C-alpha cells in the first residue's frame, strides 16, 4: 500500500500551516509576545507568527498565532470502527419505538467518577439538546434519567437496575492521566461480576471518545464530539429492537 503522509493544509500541499488562539496569564507587552512565541516553539511549532495580541485586563493576554507544524500522520494506516445503524430523526425514532418495540425505552445517563463536566451528557439528554436536535428527555417514547455529574459507578448501576434501563450512557472527559479509563473499565467489570453486563446496552460518550476506544473498554458503542442526540437514540432503539428479536428467536 502506498503511504499517504499528510499535514495541515494552508495553501500549499503539506505546508503544515495551523492557526491557534489561547490566553496566557501575563500582562500584555513585548515580554508577553515573546513568552507566547517560546511557548509555541515548545509545543513543537515552527515559523511562529503572533498575529494578534489583546489585553484581557487583570493580568491576562489573548493571542492569535499562525505557525507551521512538521508533524504528520499516515492516512492510509488509519482504521476506524464505525457504528453502522441508520440515523433517524426525532419523529422517526418515536414512531420506530411505537411500532417495533411497543413499549417505552428506558435510558439512564451520568458523568461518572470525579468528572464534573456535564456539557456532553446534557447535550444528549436535556430537552434542549444540541445543535437544534432535541435531547432524549424530550422523546415521549423514551424515559430518561439524567443523574448528572460525579456519580459513583455503583450508584449508576443501581439506578439502571431499578428503572430496568435498556441503555446506560456514561459520559466522560478522558484526561491524559487516564484515571477516567480506569474508572470506565471498573464500571464494566462490576457489571460483569454481577452478571448484569448483557442486560444493558453500554454507551460511552465524551470529547476524546471514539467508537473504537469504547469497544476496547468493553462498551457497545462510543460517541465523540459533535454527536447529536438523535444519533445516540437511533443507535439505542435499533439495538434494543435487534436484541429483542434475538431473544425471541426471530420475528
CA nearest to 139, candidates 205, 89, 199: 89
> Could you tell me which stretch among 65-73, 127-135, 174-182, 234-242 binds other proteins (CB under 8 A)?
127-135
Catalytic position from the list 128, 177, 182, 239: 128
Q: Report residue 133 as a C-alpha cell.
A: 436536535
Residue 205 is classified by DSSP as: E
Cβ closer to other proteins: 62 or 66?
62
> Could you tell me which stretch among 7-15, 38-46, 114-122, 191-199 binds other proteins (CB under 8 A)?
114-122
Q: Does 73 bind other proteins (CB under 8 A)?
A: no
Question: How far is residue 120's CA from residue 204's CA, in Å, rounded to a whole number?
Answer: 11
Q: Does 149 bind other proteins (CB under 8 A)?
A: yes
> Could you tell me which stretch among 30-38, 65-73, 82-90, 124-132 binds other proteins (CB under 8 A)?
124-132
Question: How far is residue 213's CA from residue 227's CA, in Å, rounded to a whole number?
Answer: 16
Q: Does 155 bind other proteins (CB under 8 A)?
A: no
CA nearest to 39, candidates 61, 58, 54, 59: 61
92 part of the active site: no
- CA 205, 224, 232, 127: dihedral to nearest 10 degrees? 80
Place of cell 459513583: 152
Q: Does 226 bind other proteins (CB under 8 A)?
A: yes
Binding site for other proteins (CB under 8 A): 21-23, 54, 56-58, 60, 62, 116-119, 123, 127-132, 138, 148-150, 225-226
Q: Could you give the residue numbers annotated as active site?
A: 128
Amino acid at each position: 500500500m502506498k503511504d499517504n503522509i499528510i499535514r495541515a493544509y494552508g495553501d500549499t500541499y503539506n505546508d503544515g500551516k495551523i492557526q491557534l488562539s489561547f490566553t496566557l496569564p501575563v500582562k500584555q507587552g513585548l515580554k508577553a509576545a515573546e513568552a507566547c512565541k517560546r511557548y509555541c516553539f515548545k509545543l513543537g511549532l515552527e515559523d511562529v507568527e503572533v498575529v494578534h495580541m489583546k489585553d484581557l485586563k487583570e493580568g491576562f493576554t489573548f493571542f492569535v498565532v499562525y505557525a507551521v507544524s512538521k508533524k504528520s500522520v499516515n492516512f492510509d494506516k488509519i482504521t476506524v470502527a464505525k457504528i453502522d445503524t441508520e440515523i433517524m430523526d426525532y419523529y422517526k425514532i418515536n414512531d420506530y419505538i411505537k411500532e417495533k418495540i411497543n413499549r417505552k425505552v428506558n435510558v439512564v445517563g451520568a458523568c461518572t467518577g470525579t468528572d464534573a463536566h456535564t456539557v456532553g451528557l446534557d447535550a444528549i439528554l436535556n430537552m434542549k439538546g444540541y445543535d437544534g436536535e432535541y435531547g432524549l428527555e424530550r422523546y415521549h417514547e423514551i424515559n430518561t434519567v439524567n443523574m448528572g455529574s460525579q456519580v459513583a459507578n455503583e450508584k449508576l448501576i443501581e439506578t439502571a437496575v431499578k428503572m430496568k434501563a435498556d441503555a446506560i450512557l456514561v459520559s466522560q472527559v478522558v484526561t491524559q492521566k487516564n484515571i477516567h479509563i480506569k474508572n470506565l473499565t471498573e464500571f464494566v467489570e462490576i457489571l460483569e461480576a454481577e452478571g448484569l453486563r448483557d442486560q444493558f446496552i453500554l454507551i460511552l460518550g465524551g470529547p476524546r471518545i471514539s467508537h473504537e476506544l469504547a469497544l476496547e473498554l468493553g462498551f457497545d458503542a462510543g460517541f465523540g464530539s459533535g454527536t447529536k442526540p438523535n444519533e445516540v437514540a437511533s443507535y439505542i432503539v435499533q439495538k434494543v429492537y435487534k436484541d429483542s428479536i434475538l431473544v425471541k428467536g426471530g420475528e
